[in-house]
Structure 1
Amino acid sequence: MGNAIESLKKYVTNRRAQEYNAFLSQSDHPERLSSDNVITLTLSPTLSSTATSEAKSTTTKAVATSTACSEFYWACRNNQIDKVEKLLPTMTLDEIDKLEPNHSTALHAACYHGHIRIVRMLLEAGADRAIQNKYGCLPFDEALNNNIKELFFRVPNSNRLVGNTGVIEWELIDDDVLDKAAEERDIIKSVYNNAAGNDSMNKMFEKIEKNYINKGLANIHGIEIIKRFFQKATKEQDPQWIIKAYTAETDFYTTLNTEIAGGAGMYQSERRYIIALLSHHPILNNYTFIGSAYRVMRQNHDDLKKYEVGCCLMTKSFLSSSIDRKVAELFVVRQEEEREKGGTKARFKADGKVIKSWVMCIYQIKRKRTALHIENSSQYANEGEILIMPYTVFQVKNISQFKAEFLPDKPLMTQIELEEWNK
């Protein structure tokens, strides 16, 4: 198990490196400049929202000298642990996450310079992991070594890309439920269309925050983190903050999905607003994903037999998956390692078959806005998350078995290939 998990960890830890490592050695990198330098920032080119050509506009702006950066930033950059410990309890999360005049944050600085204790302190304090610096790099991308990058991983027993049952995730469907799926999607589309272009859009954000978040979810684990993200979503009218909330390691995403799947009546409108914003808001158009996404689940052997080639499934909630198969494999390996440490052994039926076994699900996404590639807005960028929308219909195209080389004894593992239903 040790070699398998270390190999997958190394891969997942460095999967973003090819895209972002080149920026780390740039002469004008914020973390390479001394306090005497004047920083000049070139903002990323932006496309006109109405233009159809490739014309771009670039803005250059001179900002204050880096000595204008906060005392807290410099303490994190210079590994002044005592000062960081003194300042942290007095600061708000907005102050901790401040984008400094050199377009970096305290978490970027601590990661870049390899100050592992300070990185750990900032993450435990709730620092936002998804803020980009001037090069579009996240703190994870700036980390000096893999030990720091691994601090950004979820806890080993996280079920983020793992389903322990199909009950909440999907259901086998017949013609009647196909109609129901279409009806639900039409309702969500109507909710968004009725709000677009007037004050109702503002009301959607407000009602989600004031009713569902502040009242309905008041007692869930991590609610203060979630409240902060939704306050920003309402203030800025920006659903990207909802993505940050959804990816945070709190009880928000599990509670939301359980209630969507179960059809809970209370706050149903607010949950539909969340689905509508993530499904249709134009700010998220650039997140559109077409392609293959990977997710694993532990499935009861008898339930697994219900799935046949040609049958259709409907996602009953949001579904987290990964753009990279090896990320899903790592979730399996880490969970198996935790089970082994805890002394939990696989349970077998009288005929010798395992009661629950691992299944690799491959979702082929074909339509725009069915799924969002939320990696760069996620609190856990290393996961390469693809977020699949509720009420999406997939057809099983193939069921096969493969040798799971990443698990001890290399057992056979079921693989289900699903393609988005186009009819």
Structure 2
Amino acid sequence: MLSPFSSINDNNDSNIIDLLYQLCKDNEIEKVRSILPFIGNINIINKIQSTSGSTCLHVASYYGHRDMVQILLDYGAIHSTRNLRHNLTPYEEAQTEEIKQLILEHEKLFSNNDYDYIEWSIVGDDLLDKRRQFREAIDVYKTYDNHHLMSKLLAEVIHYYLNEYLVNQINDTNNPEDQITRKQIETIESYFKEAIEKQDYLTYFIKAYTLTNFFYKVLNRNLALHILEYFDETKTFSSNYRLVNCLVHIVTLLIYHPNLHQYQYQGICYRGMRITQNDLDQYQLNQHILNRAFLSTSTDLQVAAMFAGEGQQSQMRCTPKDHCALQYSCLCQYLIKQNSTAMNIKNLSARPDEQEVLIIPFSVFKVMKIKRNYLEDSTASISIEIELEECEDVIDDNKESESALSDKASRSSSLLSSDKDIKDTEEYVKFKQRRYLLYGIIGLLIFAIVLAATFTLIFTFVFNKNSTKNTTNNTTATLEKNDIFDYDLPPGKSNKKKKQQAKM
């Protein structure tokens, strides 16, 4: 019988939301069953109630109303929406394991990639093999000197990931914090275009990642949900293949950027966050954790403590009856050992005061210590402290070192050519200057020698010519003299002449 609610269609959406929310909180199952079929816009059940900042599914899960949760799910309630006050999903606020399982089962049956529970990490005993497999699978991206190829990959990110995938999500989210606008997408697009034009992907990706509030959230959620599909051969022809490829482009172009070494970070950094019991369960002493998405950390402990909600535990979500915590302030300490795991992006970030260190996806850490401060002091400023130490992959690290040395040697070889003894550019320039000077001196000497040889040749030629002329003249004179005595004598005087010559 609908008489008590027969005028509901005449009320505005706000009144309908308030009414449904209160009925779900009070577990008025029959009233909710009778009212839902007559609501014109069934999406109203997914709207956030203004006073509480939560949805109907939130309140039903929070108060442990299992049957009410089932009804709402059957009518299309979305289980991924986060409430405004505590940033929790209905799954995270669920009072019982039965309700959690109900939500998970519904998710599997009616999955629309709008998950409420995201596996941000992989947990296991030894995950270095998976890290190694990831690095080996993306070796193709090492050809970073091919600007044309890099431009095509980034163009695909712009065309599909930004202007198709994200645009389609503009009106496809019910969480106000996750709302995406066309203007935001255009801002990100401008950074990626600059990355192509200026051939500097690292700088402009970091600007896009740190400047906007939505991009890093959407990107990390997509990475956590889909990145593993790239390594799953059974999903080669998945409908998400273009999305997965774009995500891999984004990550690997950063990993193999030639300027990455300028920002490499090794040492201790901190990450502050608010976690649920389900999140905490992922951290087991001596187990390994591999992150699927980027992790934002800071070298400043106070910055991390602020993000953890230091001193605000009393304001965090707790159960309605026994007031047990549903959220905890958590401070993680990471020890970075390898040179390709994290980037110090302070000088690139739009928020340099946060002193951010960005941990790259597929890094492996071992849980060294878990300290539950709330067990000893319920008013502790930080409820949980976790220490993690990076697992060193000796094999992969050696390969990276050898590859780096090989690349460096190759670049040096192409730069110096035959001048292999020159160790740096400055010495090379000096060497070239000395060589040019030497060539100049040698050239002058050769010119002087040629000039001297020329003069010598000319002098010799002239001298020989004059000598020949004189010899010729002398010979002529002698012949002329002889000719004087050899002319014919008159008849009768020849004997006298002969006698004179005989006497001589």
Into which bin does the TM-score normalised by the smaller protein fall? 0.5 to 0.7
The yes-or-no answer on 1:372 pairing with 2:343 is: yes
Greater helix proportion: 2
**Aligned-partner residue type, residue 371 of structure 1:** A
Indicate how the Cα distance of structure 1 residues 226 and 401 shifts in structure 2: closer, same or farther if over 3 A, else same: same
The yes-or-no answer on 1:270 pairing with 2:220 is: no
Q: After TM superposition, give the deviation of residue 307 of structure 1 in Å.
A: 2.3
2:275 is paired with a residue whose SS is strand
1:184 is paired with a residue whose SS is helix
Matches within 5 A, 1:403-422: 409-411=379-381, 413-422=383-392
Higher relative contact order (CA 8 A, sep 6+): 1
Q: Aligned partners of 1:223 and 1:334: how far apart in 2?
A: 33
Q: 1:244-274 CA deviation, whole Å, 9 max, x = no partner?
A: 0011223211111111111154322121111
Match of 1:205 among 154, 170, 184: 154
The yes-or-no answer on 1:319 pairing with 2:305 is: no
Q: 1:41-70 CA deviation, whole Å, 9 max, x = no partner?
A: xxxxxxxxxxxxxxxxxxxxxxxxxxxxxx
Q: Give the corresponding residue for 2:306.
A: 330
Aligned length: 255
Q: Aligned partners of 1:365 and 1:157: how far apart in 2?
A: 34
Q: Give the corresponding residue for 1:169.
A: 120
Indicate how the Cα distance of structure 1 residues 181 and 350 shifts in structure 2: closer, same or farther if over 3 A, else same: farther
The answer on whether the counterparts of 2:270 and 2:301 sit within 8 Å (CA) in structure 1 is: yes
Q: Aligned partners of 2:295 and 2:347: how far apart in 1?
A: 17
**Aligned-partner residue type, residue 369 of structure 2:** N
**Aligned-partner residue type, residue 228 of structure 1:** S
The answer on whether the counterparts of 1:293 and 1:322 sit within 8 Å (CA) in structure 2 is: yes
Matches within 5 A, 1:345-356: 346-348=317-319, 353-356=324-327
Q: After TM superposition, give the deviation of residue 201 of structure 1 in Å.
A: 2.4
Q: After TM superposition, give the deviation of residue 367 of structure 1 in Å.
A: 0.9
Matches within 5 A, 1:104-253: 167-175=118-126, 178-188=128-138, 190-197=139-146, 199-218=148-167, 219=170, 220-221=180-181, 222-239=184-201, 240-253=203-216
Q: Give the corresponding residue for 2:501.
A: none
CA root-mean-square deviation: 3.3
Q: Aligned partners of 1:166 and 1:256: how far apart in 2?
A: 16
The answer on whether the counterparts of 2:311 and 2:382 sit within 8 Å (CA) in structure 1 is: no
The answer on whether the counterparts of 2:309 and 2:329 sit within 8 Å (CA) in structure 1 is: no
Match of 1:386 among 357, 363, 366: 357
Q: 1:317-370 CA deviation, whole Å, 9 max, x = no partner?
A: 01111111110112234894xx99xxx653138665312211111111111121
Q: Give the corresponding residue for 2:224.
A: 261
Q: Compute the TM-score of the two structures, normalised by the length of structure 1.
A: 0.54
The structure having more radius of gyration, on CA atoms, is 2
Greater strand proportion: 1
The yes-or-no answer on 1:283 pairing with 2:220 is: no
Q: After TM superposition, give the deviation of residue 411 of structure 1 in Å.
A: 4.4
1:377 is paired with a residue whose SS is coil
2:317 is paired with a residue whose SS is coil
Q: Aligned partners of 2:348 and 2:86: how far apart in 1?
A: 19
The answer on whether the counterparts of 2:318 and 2:326 sit within 8 Å (CA) in structure 1 is: yes
Indicate how the Cα distance of structure 1 residues 230 and 412 shifts in structure 2: closer, same or farther if over 3 A, else same: closer
The answer on whether the counterparts of 1:209 and 1:234 sit within 8 Å (CA) in structure 2 is: no
Q: Aligned partners of 2:326 and 2:241: how far apart in 1?
A: 34
Q: Aligned partners of 1:327 and 1:412: how far apart in 2?
A: 13
Q: Aligned partners of 1:299 and 1:402: how far apart in 2?
A: 14
What 5-or-longer segments of structure 1 have no aligned partner? Answer: 1-155
**Aligned-partner residue type, residue 191 of structure 1:** V
**Aligned-partner residue type, residue 231 of structure 1:** K
What 5-or-longer segments of structure 2 have no aligned partner? Answer: 1-83, 93-115, 171-179, 227-239, 394-504
Q: 1:192-217 CA deviation, whole Å, 9 max, x = no partner?
A: 12454463223223222233223322
Q: After TM superposition, give the deviation of residue 313 of structure 1 in Å.
A: 0.3
Match of 2:275 among 268, 288, 299: 299
1:267 is paired with a residue whose SS is helix
Match of 1:309 among 272, 277, 285: 285
Q: Give the corresponding residue for 1:148.
A: none
The answer on whether the counterparts of 1:212 and 1:267 sit within 8 Å (CA) in structure 2 is: yes
The yes-or-no answer on 1:400 pairing with 2:351 is: no
Q: Give the corresponding residue for 1:153.
A: none
Q: After TM superposition, give the deviation of residue 382 of structure 1 in Å.
A: 1.0
Q: Give the corresponding residue for 1:8.
A: none
The answer on whether the counterparts of 2:118 and 2:225 sit within 8 Å (CA) in structure 1 is: no
Q: Aligned partners of 1:364 and 1:270: how far apart in 2?
A: 30
